[in-house]
Each structure stands twice: as structure tokens, then as C-alpha cells.
């Protein structure tokens, strides 16, 4: 039997409820009932029996706006039991500064490692507020950042790049780095099962004509591998490196469905009806892995690329080769 190596990281959409109005995302348009998400008890039942979670290095908690989930601390506590070594990442749109600070402080008491915090901010105030669909977004995102800082919690900003903000992004990035904030960026992308934005033609994704502007970004700040290869991806969209999603990482959505990643709409099945092992070692999972290895899908987003970049340095690459087509 082909057995994937231990899980290295996963992203978990804790809720799809969102108080944002970003123009490149349709999540906020959905009506989601409080309490409709996969519960901590379901996570315990579905994931705890598996040793392959013991060495998980990072868990990205995403949304929606994660802190709108009222039992988020219980969720974090349960995931910490399941993945004792994992470092948690928590993203926020920054619209609820005091509530977010309280959540990070409470979560930090439960965990061994500090929570890695990312606050969304898409450029200088005017542009950011247009992209984020809220005239107060920039002010509140900065308030969240400063509040965390005053309380000794390190946080960084994350920007989603579109044709609207790419022109100012180099100057914006330089400004953030000069005040000591970290800055990560992703390109606005479509996802049928995550952003639900495949029909949203107005979100102005970058393309080959934006390569020069993206080249400027990678000159500012540390030359992370992700930033370095982004222009190359825009010139020719493809799997830049062999992808490890579905092999050493996965995406769990708030309804309990397991996917290889946030982009590929190929679900392995539901954690509410199956144990994780029966999904992860299934024939369907093997078929999906073969598709990924054959290069049928592609993307270049930091949350997925980081996993791939890490794995390229480890023997996990040998395991991936087992799924490669014979010719």
C-alpha cells in the first residue's frame, strides 16, 4: 500500500462566518449559522487516533474571520492535544481589535509556542479600504497591530495582490518593513470550494503583464523563495516545484470536508462521516494524488508553497515519486 509520510502541516477553515466585504472573495456573502461548523468533539474523534499528526509542525487557522467562532479556544485546545508540536498561525481581517487581542492572549496560555499572527492589509488606506470593502478597514487593521504590539505580541501584515494595489505595493511594503513589521503577500486567486469566487469577474487578478511590478516586490526585504518565484509563475502558470499537497498537508473546511489544498476542488470526503485514516488511505485519495503529481493543477500561494518548499529538502520527495506516472 502506498502510505503518505506523516502530516507536516494543514490549514483549517474554522468558520466561514465573516464580517469582511473583500471584493475578491465571496465567503462573506454566505449566511452561516452559528454552531454549524465541525465541532472540537468531531476533531477529536476523527483525528486523535492517528500518529501521523504527532509531528505536525504548523496549523494555519483561517476563515471567514476565525474569531467569530465562539468556541475557537476549545478548537485550538483540541488541536493542540492532537498535534502537540504544532505552531499555530491565526489570520484576522483586523476588524475586531480588542476581541482579537483577547483571543491571542487566551490561546497563548494554552500553547507552548507563540501564535503566529497575520493581519490583512492590502495597501495604503484608500486602496486597502476599497479592496476590503470597508472605509474603516485600514484604521482598524493598524489598531489591531498596535494593540498586539503594546501587549508584547508580534504580528505581521499580509496583503492580497490585485491589479488595483500592485502599483503601490512596493512603496507600501517598504514602509511596513521600515517600521519593523513583517509583510507577506499572496495573489488574488479563485477557488470553487473555498473563496466561492469562480464567477467573480471583478476581482482583477494579476497576470503576465504585472511581472515587472512583482519583480520590484521581491527586491524589497528578505528574498523568500515564495517571493522569488512569483514572477516566474505569473509569466507561465504551472507547478513551479512538485507539489506535496495531499501528501504531507491538507485543507480541512468548516463542514469537515478534507481537500488536498484550498485551490483544488477534489474532496477526499467528510470527517463527519469517516475517520481521517479511511479518507487519507483511500483509493480516491490515491487517484487525487496521482492527478496532482501529474501536474494537472497549479497555483503559487504562500500557504501551500511553503509546505512544498520545505518538503523538497526532505526524503518525502521519494514518497511523492511513487505516485509519478511510469512514463
By the criterion CB under 6 A, which residues form the site for ligand SF4?
Answer: 18, 20, 22, 25, 27-28, 63-65, 93, 239, 243, 245, 260-261, 263-264, 292, 297-299, 304
What is the Cα–Cα distance from 252 to 162, expressed in whole angstroms?
A: 26
As measured in angstroms, the least distance from the Cβ of 28 to ligand SF4 is 4
As measured in angstroms, the least distance from the Cβ of 134 to ligand SF4 is 9
CA–CA distance from 316 to each of 3, 91, 129, 242, 307 (Å)? 11, 28, 42, 11, 11
Q: 121 by DSSP, 3-state: which? A: coil
Q: Report whether the peptide linkage leading into residue 64 is cis, meaning its omega lies within 30 degrees of zero.
A: yes
Q: Give the residue among 134, 98, 154, 97 at the shortest CA–CA distance from 21.
A: 134
What is the Cα–Cα distance from 111 to 80, expressed in whole angstroms?
A: 7
Q: Which is nearer to ligand SF4, 16 or 80 (CB)?
A: 16
As measured in angstroms, the least distance from the Cβ of 52 to ligand SF4 is 19
As measured in angstroms, the least distance from the Cβ of 132 to ligand SF4 is 7
As measured in angstroms, the least distance from the Cβ of 246 to ligand SF4 is 6
Q: 88 by DSSP, 3-state: which? A: strand
Q: How many helices (H) and strands (E) does the chain have?
A: 12, 9
As measured in angstroms, the least distance from the Cβ of 151 to ligand SF4 is 23
As measured in angstroms, the least distance from the Cβ of 303 to ligand SF4 is 9
Tell me the sheet residues that pair with 182: 156
Q: Which is nearer to ligand SF4, 214 or 297 (CB)?
A: 297
Q: Which is nearer to ligand SF4, 65 or 128 (CB)?
A: 65
Q: Which is nearer to ligand SF4, 169 or 261 (CB)?
A: 261
Q: Which is nearer to ligand SF4, 227 or 307 (CB)?
A: 307
Phi first, then psi, for residue 289 (nearest 5°) are -60, -40
Given a contact cutoff of 8 angstroms between Cβ atoms, the answer to whether 280 and 237 are in contact is no
Q: Which is nearer to ligand SF4, 299 or 319 (CB)?
A: 299
Q: Which helix H or strand E contains 216, and what residues bound it?
A: helix 211-219
Q: Which is nearer to ligand SF4, 20 or 118 (CB)?
A: 20
Q: Give the residue among 260, 258, 254 at the shortest CA–CA distance from 65.
A: 254
Amino acid at each position: 500500500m502506498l502510505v503518505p509520510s506523516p502530516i507536516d502541516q494543514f490549514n483549517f477553515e474554522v468558520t466561514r462566518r465573516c464580517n469582511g466585504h473583500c471584493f475578491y472573495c465571496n465567503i462573506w456573502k454566505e449566511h452561516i449559522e452559528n454552531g454549524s461548523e465541525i465541532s472540537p468533539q468531531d476533531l477529536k474523534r476523527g483525528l486523535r487516533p492517528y500518529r501521523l499528526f504527532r509531528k505536525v509542525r504548523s496549523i494555519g487557522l483561517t476563515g471567514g474571520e476565525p474569531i467569530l467562532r465562539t468556541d475557537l479556544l476549545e478548537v485550538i485546545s483540541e488541536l493542540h492535544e492532537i498535534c502537540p508540536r504544532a505552531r499555530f498561525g491565526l489570520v484576522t481581517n483586523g476588524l475586531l481589535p480588542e476581541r482579537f487581542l483577547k483571543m491571542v492572549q487566551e490561546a497563548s496560555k494554552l500553547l507552548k509556542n507563540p501564535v503566529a499572527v497575520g493581519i490583512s492589509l492590502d495597501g495604503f488606506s484608500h486602496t486597502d479600504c476599497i479592496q476590503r470593502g470597508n472605509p474603516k478597514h485600514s484604521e482598524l487593521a493598524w489598531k489591531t497591530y498596535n494593540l498586539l504590539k503594546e501587549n508584547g505580541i508580534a504580528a505581521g501584515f499580509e496583503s492580497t495582490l490585485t491589479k488595483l494595489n500592485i502599483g503601490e505595493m512596493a512603496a507600501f511594503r517598504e514602509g511596513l518593513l521600515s517600521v519593523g513589521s513583517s509583510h507577506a503577500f499572496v495573489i488574488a486567486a479563485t477557488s470553487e470550494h473555498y473563496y466561492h469566487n469562480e464567477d467573480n469577474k471583478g476581482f482583477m487578478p494579476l497576470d503576465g503583464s504585472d511581472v515587472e511590478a512583482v519583480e520590484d516586490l521581491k527586491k524589497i526585504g528578505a528574498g523568500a523563495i515564495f517571493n522569488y518565484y512569483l514572477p516566474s509563475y505569473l509569466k507561465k502558470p504551472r507547478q513551479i516545484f512538485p507539489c506535496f499537497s495531499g501528501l504531507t498537508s491538507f485543507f480541512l473546511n468548516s463542514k469537515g470536508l478534507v481537500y488536498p489544498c484550498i485551490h483544488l476542488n477534489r474532496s477526499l470526503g467528510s470527517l463527519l462521516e469517516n475517520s481521517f485514516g479511511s479518507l487519507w488511505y483511500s483509493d480516491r485519495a490515491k487517484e487525487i494524488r496521482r492527478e496532482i503529481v501529474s501536474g494537472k493543477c497549479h497555483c503559487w500561494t504562500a500557504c501551500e508553497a511553503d509546505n512544498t518548499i520545505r518538503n523538497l529538502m526532505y526524503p518525502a520527495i521519494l514518497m511523492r515519486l511513487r505516485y509519478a506516472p511510469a512514463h
